[in-house]
Chain A
């Protein structure tokens, strides 16, 4: 999905750079509200993890590959504004150090993967999270659909930009069909990886998933007796495990 230099004309490239800069400025403000002692260490880790997994191109049909974008996953883990910043850091390092994605096209790529993928992925996630049951399965389903949709959404925004300022004289409808088709397949991979990673983090440290905080409040994820020194809610499973963890009533 990394757009190289040259596909889009100078005016379109400059336009996307301006939108990306405005988006990042907003994200710098918004992220301050999201970043606390839990999300701050997670943000650096998540960005590094996304960089690594983006190197793992997986094959899709017709001798084509795809890789995780990670915008939706990052937004669920650390919040959407922080995710936009994490994606921007990943894309900057890729463009400046690894020549992956163009240098003048950096704004285009931040727009597509840092703003569109994060925005669509997180928007769909929040909508579905509100509609689906407040359980771990419901959360994973919402995140998976968000991750899936984020990929064709970013691809189609690229097609829109190509229609506005593509350098080549090529049928936009034909590009849209090809881009849309292959990115639906890549979206399935995006959803699978995102759900697997999110499921693993939820299994170990659900409190580190910013998008899962409502589950904690609802005590659907029963807090373990030794966790965080918080009083255990009366309707949790904690008393069942009491004989093994609390030897106080042994006589």
Chain B
């Protein structure tokens, strides 16, 4: 049976590959909501987000010319940010809730 730490590691590598490499091959057509908005005539009511000037806006790292590399960097950064934030949040919640000692054989990632 795969150890939990190995399992999590494989999962993280998979997520990094999907976001860092696979995302380049994703469809660039508008998504269901955006396409509906265009078709139904309310697409132009969308305003630019206040975060539109972010260095990673629209999943492209600004200053990196190569589109594949730029998107890959953005994807990898996003996966790591979500991993740290969601993983940290759940670990904090778990520790406060369990009366038992926090260190178990499964360890943390």
Residues of A within 8 A of B (CB): 1-7, 28, 31-33, 35-53, 55-60, 62-67, 82, 85-86, 89-90, 92-103, 155, 158, 166-168, 170-171, 174-175, 178-179, 182-183, 185-186, 204-205, 208, 224, 226-228
Please, which residues of chain A bring their CB within 8 A of the CB of B74? 98
Known A37-B106, A38-B4; contact A47-B49, beta-carbon cutoff 8 A? no
A31 to B100, CA, bound (A): 17
Known A51-B19, A208-B4; contact A103-B51, beta-carbon cutoff 8 A? yes
A37 to B91, CA, bound (A): 9
Please, which residues of chain B bring their CB within 8 A of the CB of A175? 36, 40, 42
Please, which residues of chain B bring their CB within 8 A of the CB of A64? 29-32, 35
Contact A41 B109 (CB under 8 A): yes
Known A52-B16, A57-B27, A64-B32; contact A7-B8, beta-carbon cutoff 8 A? no
Please, which residues of chain B bring their CB within 8 A of the CB of A103? 49-51
Known A33-B97, A55-B75; contact A167-B51, beta-carbon cutoff 8 A? no
Q: Which of B60-99 contact A (CB under 8 A)?
A: 74-75, 77-91, 93-94, 96-98
A96's partner among B7, B27, B51 (CB-CB below 8 A) is: B51
A183 to B8, CA, bound (A): 31
Residues of B within 8 A of A (CB): 1-2, 4-5, 7-8, 11-12, 14-16, 18-19, 22-23, 26-33, 35-37, 39-42, 45-52, 54, 56-59, 74-75, 77-91, 93-94, 96-98, 104, 106, 108-109
Contact B32 A97 (CB under 8 A): no
Contact B78 A65 (CB under 8 A): no
Contact B30 A49 (CB under 8 A): no
Contact B81 A97 (CB under 8 A): yes
A119 to B108, CA, bound (A): 28
State the Cβ distance, A91 to closest chain B Cβ, in Å: 10
Known A35-B93, A45-B11, A224-B1; contact A57-B26, beta-carbon cutoff 8 A? yes
30 contacts between A and B (CB under 8 A): A3-B33, A4-B47, A5-B48, A31-B93, A32-B93, A36-B98, A37-B104, A39-B94, A40-B94, A41-B8, A41-B106, A44-B84, A45-B87, A46-B86, A51-B15, A51-B79, A59-B27, A59-B29, A85-B86, A89-B82, A90-B82, A95-B49, A98-B78, A99-B51, A103-B51, A155-B32, A158-B33, A168-B45, A170-B41, A227-B1
Contact B58 A99 (CB under 8 A): yes
Closest to B22 in A: A56
Contact B58 A182 (CB under 8 A): no
A178 to B47, CA, bound (A): 22
A182 to B40, CA, bound (A): 13
Please, which residues of chain B bring their CB within 8 A of the CB of A226? 1
Contact B31 A65 (CB under 8 A): yes
A60 to B100, CA, bound (A): 49
